[in-house]
Chains A and B, each alone.
Chain A
Amino acid sequence: MLELQNIHVNYGLIPAIRNLSLRVEKGETVGLIGSNGAGKTTTLRTISSLIRPASGKIIFDGVDITNMAPHEIVRLGMAHVPERRGIFANLTVYENLLMGAFTQKKVLPSDYDEVFTLFPRMAERKKQIAGTLSGGEQQMLAISRALLSKPKMILLDEPSLGLAPQVTKSIFDTIQKINKQGTTVLLVEQNAQAALKISSRGYVLEVGEVTLSDTAQSLLSNDAVRKAYLGEI
């Protein structure tokens, strides 16, 4: 579904990502974990072309998307839920959802219903200004909005950011549901435990390089990972 081949990304003179290669198969949930500044967000932004890589190749669904514009990639069926949710704070929940369906020629009521079944809260708050939602609701909105572009694959940038453990759990349950309904998921997280629990495979990113990649199960039991990311001594 998605393949990154030897990606290098620089911010000015400073390399942010070095020689990153990564694969996500159709129907998988892949977790990309790492600490602050490891290059997780940069990786996602490079995939959806918000940042241009210095070298390397990105292939999505058989198409080389390395030099495509971000809006073209969305049309191919990739949705990006940006870091800190990136909701349109002064618009209503409904208007935010409409923006998510921007690339769709026609939006059916059933498309909204699908999203509302996943997040009933969104139906209740349809007319509310998005900026007045709670953090968890804003995250739900960001995911709902991304789903309305009918993606084959969804990139999630730290959905747990700033959320209470309870809310995080419910969001991750929903991500699992979305994946089961057939959407491929690439999940970037600092909360390694939560991410790996719902992932089939995982990559560990350290200062711009992939240092470890394995099935989620073995990463969860890997001593180095446990020490560095799962808070065990």
Chain B
Amino acid sequence: MTKWTFWVGTFVAVAALWGINYSLEEYANPYIVRVIINCGIALILGLSLNLVNGCAGQFSLGHAGFMGIGAYTSILLTTLSNIDFFQSPMGIGWAVVAGGGAAALAGYLVGLPSLRLRGDYLAIVTLGFGEIIRIFFLNMEFIGGARGMPGIPRESNFFWVYLWAAVTFIFMYRLIRSSTGRAILSIRENEIAAEAMGIDVARYKVVAFVISSFFAGIAGGLFAHYQGFIDPSTFNFNRSVEVVIMVVMGGMGSFTGAALGALLVTLLPELLRVFAEYRMVIFSASLVAVMLWRPMGIMGHKEIWHFFKKKGEA
């Protein structure tokens, strides 16, 4: 791809997002718009967690915590501070980025000591971290405590959510094909061999964790500024588990798989509304079914285009 086609492509894609955003706001049913935007936020969450759980093979159960940090940091700037800049649409965009930055910093601080642990132990530590964050928000009166935080400017929309989802996907796709990405993958494949190849395993685990937390924070900020209201229970353990399900169901380490998982986990409960009270039963049963038939997830380690290639090629 030349530079020229790249920029034209980017321009066309952004214009298309704009166009869809405009028509959704003008003509679509608000319920449909809400589901579509929830899908977009789920995409960012699923794609980002896939880097840690799928690619690096480190089982993290605290993604909602990082999402919460992103959400609360961004509303601190836009809703609670009196800085004029952060009231403007542009400023809100930067506040969301700041939320991502805060989540990344938290990811660094949590990751540094805890990524020395493996498997179940790491899962417990990250789970604990997620709960600490939630309870911290619960007890902070100035950010609303248990009552939550209303009156957040509702500035994020289809355009911003899907722009970030696209950025996340492209970033992850490029990352995993770089030497940093391969270092992260090799940790999952064989930690001892990775060390023997001269890879600073501890460092690359933290790198993966920080990147993943950053995008979780972005998702949190976008979510807060879409909902217009957040409370600590939004970022509870169930949310973390939901993201893990997206990754496991889609296929560990496959970004198109994580995206598919994110869409399924968000869309299925909505599509199953016709079954009324049996909705979640059927949803859970379908998860069990996927794991029975495809324990490696719908995609496994592969990306979607690998299925269209000739056999034997990788």
Contacts and interface: CB of A to CB of B under 8 A. Distances in A.
Contact of B198 (A86, A89, A98, A102): A102
Contacts of A70: 195-196, 198
A92 interface: yes
Contacts of B301: 90
Contacts of B314: 92, 127-129
Contacts of B140: none
30 contacts: A70-B198, A71-B195, A71-B200, A74-B197, A74-B198, A75-B198, A80-B196, A81-B196, A82-B190, A82-B196, A86-B192, A87-B190, A88-B185, A88-B189, A88-B194, A90-B185, A90-B189, A91-B182, A91-B189, A92-B314, A99-B182, A99-B186, A99-B199, A102-B183, A102-B199, A103-B198, A127-B314, A129-B314, A145-B197, A149-B197
Given A50-B196, A74-B198, 8 more contacts: A71-B195, A71-B200, A81-B196, A82-B196, A88-B185, A88-B189, A89-B190, A100-B197
A48 interface: yes
A63 interface: no
Interface string B278-314: 0000000000000000000000010000000000111
Interface in A77-123: 79-82, 86-92, 95, 98-100, 102-103
Contacts of A98: 179, 182
Contact of B193 (A69, A88, A128, A129): A88
A146 B182 CA distance: 16
A99 B194 CA distance: 8
A86 B179 contact: no
Chain B interface size, under 10 / 10 to 19 / 20 to 34 / 35 or more? 20 to 34
Contacts of A92: 314
Given A90-B189, A95-B182, A127-B313, A50 B197 contact: no
Contacts of B179: 98, 102
Given A48-B196, A127-B313, A91 B190 contact: no
A91 B253 CA distance: 12
Interface string A148-181: 0100000000000000000000000000000000
Contacts of A88: 185-186, 189-190, 193-194
Contacts, number: 76
B190 to A, nearest CB: 5
B223 to A, nearest CB: 33
Interface in B183-222: 183, 185-186, 189-190, 192-201
Contacts of A86: 190, 192-193, 196
Contacts of B197: 74, 99-100, 102-103, 145, 149
Contacts of A127: 313-314
Interface string A40-81: 000000001010000000000000000001110011000111
Interface in B85-137: none
A97 to B, nearest CB: 11
A91 B179 CA distance: 13
A145 B193 CA distance: 10
B193 A87 contact: yes
Query: Most chain-B Cβ atoms within 10 A of its Cβ — which of A80, A86, A98, A100?
Result: A86
Contacts of B196: 48, 50, 70, 74, 79-82, 86, 146
Query: Most chain-A Cβ atoms within 10 A of its Cβ — which of B197, B199, B312?
Result: B197
Contact of A91 (B185, B198, B313): B185
Nearest 3 CB-CB pairings of A with B: A74-B198, A86-B193, A88-B189
Query: Most chain-B Cβ atoms within 10 A of its Cβ — which of A79, A88, A103?
Result: A88
Contacts of B195: 48, 50, 70-71
A89 B194 CA distance: 12
A80 to B, nearest CB: 4
A149 B199 CA distance: 12
Contacts of A81: 196
A50 B312 CA distance: 35
A87 B194 CA distance: 9
Given A69-B200, A103-B198, A129-B314, A91 B193 contact: no
Contacts of A82: 190, 192-193, 196
A105 to B, nearest CB: 11
Contacts of A87: 189-190, 193
Nearest to A131: B189
A172 to B, nearest CB: 21
Query: Most chain-A Cβ atoms within 10 A of its Cβ — which of B189, B190, B253?
Result: B189
Interface in A137-152: 145-146, 149
Contacts of B182: 91, 95, 98-99, 102
A103 B200 CA distance: 10
B193 to A, nearest CB: 3
A28 B8 CA distance: 60
Nearest to B187: A88
